[in-house]
Structure 1
Amino acid sequence: MIRYLRTFLPWIAFAVLSTDTEARWGALAALALSAVLLAGDRRAGRGWDELVLEVGSALFFAALVIASFTISPAPLGAYGPAVSVGWLALISWGSLAVRRPFTLGIARQSTPVEVQASPLFHRVNAVITAVWAAAFTLDALALAVLYAVAPHAAVAIVAVKVCAFVIPAIFTLRYPRIVRARYAV
């Protein structure tokens, strides 16, 4: 789970440092953090195919930094959280479409090599990635609706954001255990 948290650190920094009218500093911090984490991952020997989410995050924040420092007012406005989570959904669904679920690289960090070669390992990660993709998609849609109809409903907005990460995180912890028990792997 620490690996997942590390992967999402740029998004957490962006969420903490950005407001509806000021995304520049959050985007810049997230881009810097993305670059540092990506460089560390590459130095540690992780391949580009294992860094799908990390590369997608860096690209998003690079584009947002350029846009936020050249466009006024803030390019995403109140819809920034919905757009950013929508980008995570696109990365997740895209990784499934190319049969490289973004969770594979993270899971390999704590899985024996002989297990990594099994079709079941890939299937488990495809399911986990699909849960994350669905959560990101629902989060983006819910945030867009909330910002459109109740932009000051801070408690609801925070609840949607938290649920979109906590629910798939819990699933990510539990599902491999269920599969191991079912197949005695």
Structure 2
Amino acid sequence: MRGLLGFLPWIAYAVIATGDEWRWGAITGLTLALALVALDRRAGKGWDEMVIESSAAIFFTCLTALSLADPHSPLTPYGPALVNVWLAGTAWGSLALRRPFTLGIARSMAPKEVWETPRFYRVNAVITTVWAVAFTVAALSLTLVLHTSPHATTLVIAIKVLSFVLPSAFTAWYPKRVRRVPAG
């Protein structure tokens, strides 16, 4: 579950940011992201273990600047969708670079002798793909909901929760499933 700590800035933003308070959500997300990056670097973690945290630092730097420069930006209501667009881009980008964002996190929890195996890479590629799909579906769903029903708070919360809980559950389940199946 340590790997999920990297999502703390995103979760904090989702909880704090509302139409009127997106600035505080952005500032909180930025503060948490920078703190996580600093703590992880001080602990000796490599950049490949901090993809989500580093991505959060970049995103929340930009969002904080935008929210302070233009507090009434037309993007304000779409904050939850923007988060998922960015996370989807991070996940899909890491796959395109053949460096699934889960790889560094998984290396911190797996024995070194499996790090370079095709199976290890494949497991992380599958897990990262599940996250990428979840972020993409959430981005599209949130954009649609926020455009057509901007006050559908319950539905927005449900999409946010499901887009995190479902891939988290898959991330916990899938490696165990793969370990039970003989390599072949």
Q: Same fold (TM over 0.5)?
A: yes
Deviation at 1:40, TM superposition (A): 1.1
CA shift in 2, pair 1:69/1:49, >3 Å: same
Q: Could you state the TM-score of these two structures normalised by the residue count of structure 1?
A: 0.94
Give distance in 2, aligned partners of 1:155 and 1:35: 30
The answer to whether the aligner puts 1:95 opposite 2:74 as a matched pair is no
Counterparts of 1:62 and 1:20 in 2: how far apart (Å)? 19
Shift of 1:14: 0.9
Indicate whether 1:65 and 2:64 are aligned. Answer: yes
* Counterpart in the other structure of 1:2: 2
Aligned residue identity for 2:123: V
- State the 1:74 CA deviation: 4.2
Structure 1 gaps of 5+ residues are none
**Match in the other structure for 2:76:** 77
Letter in 2 for 1:97: A
Aligned to 2:110: 111
> TM-score scaled to structure 2, two decimals?
0.95
Take 1:103 and 1:77, find their aligned partners in 2: how far apart are those partners?
A: 30
The farther-off stretch of 139-148 and 111-120 is: 111-120
Out of 89-98 and 72-81, give the one that drifted further. 72-81
Q: Secondary structure in 1 aligned to 2:8?
A: helix
> How far off its partner does 1:85 sit?
1.0
The answer to whether the Cα contact below 8 Å between 2:48 and 2:105 also exists between their aligned partners in 1 is no
RMSD of aligned residue pairs (Cα, Å): 1.5
Structure 1 distance, partners of 2:120, 2:10, is 27
Report the CA distance between 1:70 and its aligned residue.
1.0
- Which consecutive aligned stretches of 4+ in structure 1 deviate over 4 angstroms post-superposition? none
Structure 1 stretch displaced more, 76-85 or 127-136: 76-85
* Residues matched between the structures, number: 184
Gaps of 5+ in 2: none
Give the Cα separation in 2 of the matches to 1:157 and 1:14: 14
Percent of pairs with identical residues: 52
